[in-house]
Chain A
Amino acid sequence: MTPSGTAMETTTTGGVVFDGVSKRYGNVTAVDYVSFRVAPGELVTLLGPSGCGKTTTLRMVAGLEAVSGGRVLIGGTDVTLRAANERDVSMVFQSYALFPHMTVLENVAYGPISMRKSRPEARELARAKLSMLGLADYEARLPSELSGGQQQRVAVARSLVLEPAVLLFDEPLSNLDAKLRRRVREEIRELQQSLSLTVIYVTHDQEEALAVSDRVIVMEGGRIAQQGTPHDLYDAPQSRFLADFIGDANLVDGELTVHGAVATFAAGGVAAPVRADGRSTGPATLAVRPQRLRVVDAGQGVLPGVCKRVSYLGSRIEYVVATAWGELLVFDPDARTPRPRDAAVSIAFDPDAVIVLPR
């Protein structure tokens, strides 16, 4: 069983500490003994397929769900038993959850008024945040009179105005159209960095996760599969699931033979040199990213094969090449000269550009 969390060196004050937390609904365990830390000023993403427990985890940080076991600390204080309205946490919901009967200004001023600020003071704070997000002209509008992107910014302003210790985002881009998503995710990242906000971000889109995060925590089946920087996760996934989930990967089951610092990987009768990566001789799975493979003329690479499919994607060509190692997906950035179908070709790769996983 993969360890649920590696201890991170962080300060004990500030940020979020999730310590051995579990959540059970009757007989179903949605979150199984999960531990992680978020340092102050860090943006950490919870990433995973549907049903992996990431949203439940986020809601337990928010205080919208009570934990079945473990502790939650925010800013150094144990808040495990506190409901959402007693935690120093704000949340931006997937559907924005703007109060439809209140204007933009009233929505954003809602938090400060709950904290017993006077109405004029609350409105001033609200206006400041609205102008920071470029919404100063919209304060008298109702949410139904705004576009999706504007509604989202109001939701962000509303959660920022209380200057919480932790800001939570629950799949904030899923209701936006594709073109808008890139721009908005960059805005969120910029805002987070300029204000040094501590953010926990939930998404199922791995490209989004890699783009905005300081660290990513990948969850599966209620447990943490791996956590690390985007670079770690992409280049050094620790399991088959992770290699396949983040980015595309060709997965080949075979035998690894190690002689000192040199290793050979063999499958389907064909062997090729790979890096040793600290592994020992025995069964292994090789994971290779499509863009690290090259389609070369027959005889010039390590793996002979035949082009089964050639897809022109504008920015690159995607080849599916049938080899002794199975059908391999290859991305070729040179889109000008595609190889014909059924051509006999060869696959080449840099021995260091592969990932060797235990089987």
Chain B
Amino acid sequence: MATLAFAPAVFVPVARDRATIVVAAIAMLALVALPWALNWGPSALFRALGGQTALWPTLIATLVCLVCAWRGFDRATAAVALFAVAWTFAAGFAAGVAGTSFGLGAGVALIALTICFARAVARRGYFNGDATVAAIVVVVAVLLLIFIFFPVGKALVAAVFDSQGNFVPRLAAERLLTPDIWSLACLTGGTRCGVAVNSAMLATIVGIGSTLLGLLLALVVQRGGQRYAGVTKLMSILPIITPPFVIALALVVLFGRTGLVTGLLDTWFGIPRSRWLYGLPGVTIAQLITFSPIAFMILNGALAAISPSLEEAAQTLRASRWRVFRTVTWPLLRPALANAFLLGFVESLADFANPIVLAGNFDVLSTKIFFAVAGAQHDPGRAAALATVLLGLTLIAFWLQQRWIGRLSYVTVTGKGDGGVPAQLPRPFWLACFGTAGLWIVFTLACYVIILIGGFVKDIGRGDMTLTLHHFSEGFGFAWNGLLPTFTGSAWDSFFTTIEVAAIAAPLTTIVGLLSAYVITRHRFTGRRAFEFLTLVSFAIPGTVIGVAYIVAFNVAPLELTGGMLILVLCFVFRNMPVGVRAGVAALAQIDKTLDEASSTLRASTTRTLREVILPLLRPAIIATLVFSFTHAMTAVSAVIFLATAKYNLATVYIIGRVEAGEYPLAIAYSTVLIFFMLAVLLLVQKLVGETRLGRRAATAFATGH
């Protein structure tokens, strides 16, 4: 019996593909009728007729693509569409400063041509013959390449260029290997360490500290029964609604040179005022309080998943409570502990808001990069070198985390806790946990109370507690002009811009994230792992690096986006995309796969299945993702601090500006407004949708990354 050669398992569509023809027609229409460039003006066709000859190949190729799609020549369609896109980009970059920046017409045409390419390629058997999946994967991958990999690459490469723009490779070595970055002097008696050493030290301390705190609180909550369920809820909400500098501000109010507690200590105990807060101690405390809730959620989930019956079995084998913890609970917790540590480590490295307020002379990478670009010594080359180091550190930590926790994937097996009563902790240990955790929670709540009060008193930073609404009227004052209010406060501009940008970015993030999650979890195709990796990688890139990268990459044609609102939207969309993907994966895991298959056997295309079966069942996840990407965008700072302008200012950037100018009360008042606004959004949505049914895994996904 002859064995047939095993052909690759593929499907190839049979029916005539009308959708590709329509998309190609849209591309043609965009070239003919829509304004080509960002500054509006004539369409591509008229520009070509008017002398911009570089556009002719694009126009002709698109026409040929349309004809090939009409005739069903898949290979030709794919080839021509690919050529059109490649040529357009190449010509755009070649034109350089003299060229025009891509606008609406260019954007629509390029996306349409990419979709044509993807669909044509699918008809040859790739992507399992599924044109919809192909389109999603190719378009998202291309967008990621343009808006994550290209800018980061370009920014890092700037390290080898000098200030005149000459290519000087040895400059990179010079910039990267200075003692300024790597010196260990502070550990051996000197005054200052290199900035990378500082960042790494801080990150390690915060990683260990937040993990420990999170563990203690998780133990209390898990073993304390249902009494502390409210704590869990609180911890899961705090990181979402809190702008990243709020804790730092509260600490300054409490422990700054003129702070409340400092003042009390001076009057009551004669302890002299000092600036001990500014530097490593202050940043450490701020970051510990900010990031411990995330560690708590990870460890809480892990403890909940450790089957209590394992511990019961150990107990029936005569193990003491301590022994049970040491030999059963602890080894099972180790992966979660490693996970929490690395997450805290990465969050600390990437944190910008707390250091900018509290670091003082203690340089960390994120602030140093900021000053290299925005400060007086405008040195993009140096910023690039620092960004390389920062990115290197986060990538290493991220890689370690993925290696220890599992393969590089969103799709992890959910653990199910079974019944059974978890073991009691040994009493002294329990008291220690309870005490420390209690202290931590009280301290955290105190910080929030400070912030809430601070807006309503004259100058809480200097102890002046006279009640006043001056700060709110200064920032958010308005007058009635007939029926409509005129907004006179100084903060309204940034507030409205932030809401506008966040509201535009959130739906886009949700669409891109959920569609990507869908193809990753519901379809098998060659290159799925690579695609999943592409979407995961932007998790590892700190906001500062992206911010710098965007300024460096998008300040010249054909993608001249700096100074506008579009760049802010794009930054939010692609930075927050992994959050949408993770939420999508978690939600899709709860939808039975046979529903997709049933739909398929009922002759429905992938698009129809997506629209009629999957999306309605995903509604809670869609709403949750919308809300969380919105709040993420409202509280982001480390990336957008580079991208905000006077015309398009953002709330967080405005607040940092006030802090730098020493106007703490206004900054605090604004923070209060932000917190309440987001709390209101969150509560409103929960009211409308009911408790989000995503589960803790997705909640953890939402909490990370500012």
What does the 1/0 interface line of B129-144 toward A look like (CB < 8 Å)? Answer: 1100000000000000
Does B594 contact A97, Cβ atoms closer than 8 Å? Answer: yes
What does the 1/0 interface line of B1-22 toward A look like (CB < 8 Å)? Answer: 1011111011111110000000
Known contacts A95-B594, A101-B617; is A111 also within 8 Å of B602 by CB? yes
Does A63 contact B11, Cβ atoms closer than 8 Å? Answer: yes
Does B4 contact A110, Cβ atoms closer than 8 Å? Answer: no
Report Cα–Cα, A4/B4, bound state, in Å: 15
Chain B contributes a number of interface residues (CB within 8 A of A) equal to 34
A197 to chain B, nearest CB (A): 15
Residues in A with CB closer than 8 Å to B602 are 85, 90, 110-111, 114, 158-159, 162
B87 to chain A, nearest CB (A): 33
Residues in A with CB closer than 8 Å to B598 are 91, 93, 97-99
Known contacts A66-B10, A66-B128, A115-B603; is A86 also within 8 Å of B15 by CB? yes
Report Cα–Cα, A64/B602, bound state, in Å: 12
Does B601 contact A90, Cβ atoms closer than 8 Å? Answer: yes
Does A68 contact B6, Cβ atoms closer than 8 Å? Answer: yes
Contact of A69 among B1, B7, B594 (CB under 8 A): B7
Does A97 contact B128, Cβ atoms closer than 8 Å? Answer: no
Residue of B nearest to A77 (CB): B14
Does B601 contact A84, Cβ atoms closer than 8 Å? Answer: yes
Residues in A with CB closer than 8 Å to B15 are 86
Asked if A226 lies at the interface with its beta carbon under 8 angstroms from chain B, I say no
Q: Which of A12-27 contact B (CB under 8 A)?
A: 20, 22-24
Chain A contributes a number of interface residues (CB within 8 A of B) equal to 39
Contact of B6 among A24, A97, A100 (CB under 8 A): A24
Residues in B with CB closer than 8 Å to A33 are 1, 3-4
Residues in B with CB closer than 8 Å to A98 are 598
Residues in B with CB closer than 8 Å to A90 are 601-602
Does A114 contact B603, Cβ atoms closer than 8 Å? Answer: yes
Asked if A212 lies at the interface with its beta carbon under 8 angstroms from chain B, I say no
Residues in A with CB closer than 8 Å to B6 are 22, 24, 68-69
Contact of A84 among B595, B597, B617 (CB under 8 A): B597
Report Cα–Cα, A158/B602, bound state, in Å: 8
Asked if A67 lies at the interface with its beta carbon under 8 angstroms from chain B, I say yes
Tell which of B283-291, B500-508, B608-616 binds the partner: B608-616
Residue of B nearest to A158 (CB): B602
Residues in A with CB closer than 8 Å to B5 are 69
Contact of B613 among A99, A159, A162 (CB under 8 A): A99
Does B9 contact A95, Cβ atoms closer than 8 Å? Answer: no
Does B600 contact A83, Cβ atoms closer than 8 Å? Answer: yes
Asked if A89 lies at the interface with its beta carbon under 8 angstroms from chain B, I say yes
Residues in A with CB closer than 8 Å to B592 are 95, 97
Report Cα–Cα, A70/B1, bound state, in Å: 13
Asked if A65 lies at the interface with its beta carbon under 8 angstroms from chain B, I say yes
Residues in B with CB closer than 8 Å to A24 are 6
Report Cα–Cα, A68/B6, bound state, in Å: 5
Q: Which of B586-633 contact A (CB under 8 A)?
A: 592, 594-595, 597-605, 608, 612-613, 616-617
Residues in B with CB closer than 8 Å to A89 are 601
B294 to chain A, nearest CB (A): 34
Known contacts A64-B600, A83-B128, A89-B601; is A69 also within 8 Å of B4 by CB? yes
Report Cα–Cα, A82/B613, bound state, in Å: 22
| Interface core residue of B594, B600, B602 (most chain A CB under 10 Å) | B602
Residues in A with CB closer than 8 Å to B612 are 99, 110
Residue of A nearest to B2 (CB): A20
A336 to chain B, nearest CB (A): 49
Residues in A with CB closer than 8 Å to B605 are 85, 114
Supply 5 further A-B pairs (C-beta < 8 A) apart from A86-B13, A97-B597, A114-B605.
Answer: A4-B1, A63-B601, A67-B9, A94-B594, A98-B598
Which residues from chain B sit less than 8 Å from chain A, CB to CB? Answer: 1, 3-7, 9-15, 125, 128-130, 592, 594-595, 597-605, 608, 612-613, 616-617
Which residues from chain A sit less than 8 Å from chain B, CB to CB? Answer: 4, 20, 22-24, 33, 62-70, 81-86, 89-91, 93-95, 97-101, 110-111, 114-115, 158-159, 162
What are the 8 closest A-B residue pairs judged by CB atoms, nearest first?
A66-B9, A97-B598, A69-B4, A111-B602, A83-B11, A84-B600, A114-B604, A97-B594
